[in-house]
Amino acid sequence: MASWSEYFVLRMFRLLRKLPLMKILRFGTSTEKFTDYFKGFEGVKAVRGIFGDDTDEILGKLKVGFIWFGYMAVDDEDGHLMVNSRYLENGDKTEIYLDVIHELCHVKQHLDGKELFDSRYDYVDSPTEVEAYRYTVIEAKRLGLSDKRILRYLQTEWMSDADLRRLVSNMGIDLQNVEK
> Which residues make up the interface to Zn ion (CB under 5 A)?
129, 132
Q: Using CA atoms in the order 113, 119, 121, 124, what is the torsion angle rounded to 10 degrees?
A: 90
Nearer to Zn ion, 5 or 115 (CB): 115
Q: Residue 112: helix, strand or coil by DSSP?
A: coil
Nearer to Zn ion, 11 or 67 (CB): 67
Least Å distance between CB 170 and Zn ion?
13
Least Å distance between CB 12 and Zn ion?
19
The span from the CA of 115 to the CA of 1, in Å, is 46
Least Å distance between CB 65 and Zn ion?
16
Q: How crowded is residue 82: how many other Cβ atoms within 10 Å of its Cβ?
A: 18
The span from the CA of 12 to the CA of 99, in Å, is 12
Nearer to Zn ion, 8 or 133 (CB): 133
